[in-house]
Amino acid sequence: TQESDMDWEPTDPFVLVKKEVERALTGVNQVYSAWENAADADEAAWAANEVKLGTKNIEWDLQDLEKSIEMARMDSKRFQIPQHELEERVQFVATTREHIQKLAKTVAAPAQGNATRHSRTQLGLEKQRDSRYAALEKDIQADHQKFIGQHQQLQQEMYEEQEHGLGEVSIAVDVLHNMSNDLHDELGRQEKDLEHMDTELESTTARVSRAIRKVDELITKVDNKAGYWIIALLIVLLLILFVVFFLL
C-alpha cells in the first residue's frame, strides 16, 4: 500500500490526508494508554477527554478521505488509480473508523474505566505508583527539612556573631568610659595644683614687693656708695631665696 501511495502522491490528495490520520491515530493511542494507566480520576478524565477530541478529529479526516476516494472513482481518467488500490483505501478508512469508535466508546464507559483501574490495582500497579509517590514526597519533605535546618543554623551563627560583636563593643565603651573618668580626675588634680601654684606666686610677689620697698627706704637713708653695696647684697639674697623656694 505504501508503494501505491507513493505512486499516486503527486496528484492524489488521499496520501497527504492519510499521513495526517496515521500521525493523529498514533497520538490518540498514546493518550488512550495514559487513560488506562491513570493514577486518579482527574488524570483519567483528562485522558478520556483528549481521546474523544482526537477520535473526533480523525473522523473528520476519514470523511475527507472518503470524499477523495469517491472523486477518484468518479474521475478515473484523471487519477488513474487501480480498482484494488481504491479497495485498500476503503478498507483503511473502515478499519481506522472502527478502531477510533472502539476507543471513544471505551473511555466513555465509566464502568470499563473502573474495571481497568481495578485490574491494575489487583496487579499491584496502583500500590507501586503510590509507593513511588510516597517515596518522592518523603524525599521532598527531607530536602525541605534539611533546607530549614541549614537556614536556622545559619541564622543562629549570625546571631552568635552579632552577640559577640556587641559584647566587644560593650567592652570598648566601658574602657572609654573609664578613661574619660581618669582624665577628668587628672584634670581636677592639675587644676588644684595650678591654683596652689598661683597662690604661692601671689604670696612670693607680695614678699618681693615689700622687700623692694624696704630697699628703697634704706637707700634713701644711707650714703649713696654704701647704699649700692647694700642693694647688691639684698638682690643676691633675694635671688638665692627665690631659687631655693622654687627648687624646694
* 3 state SS for 109-169: CHHHHHHHHHHHHHCCHHHHHHHHHHHHHHHHHHHHHHHHHHHHHHHHHHHHHHHHHHHHH
Cα 220 → chain centroid: 104
Place of cell 496515521: 22
Look up the pTM and report it.
Answer: 0.43
- How far, in Å, CA of 221 to CA of 227, rounded? 8
Mean pLDDT, range 109-138, rounded to an integer: 55
Enter the DSSP assignment of 83: H
Distance in Å from the first CA to the final CA of the chain:
136
Contacts of 1 (CB under 8 A, 6+ apart): 85, 88, 92
Q: What is the largest CA-CA distance in the chain?
A: 176
Over residues 44-92, the pLDDT tens digits come to: 889 899 999 999 999 998 998 888 888 888 877 787 888 888 899 999 9
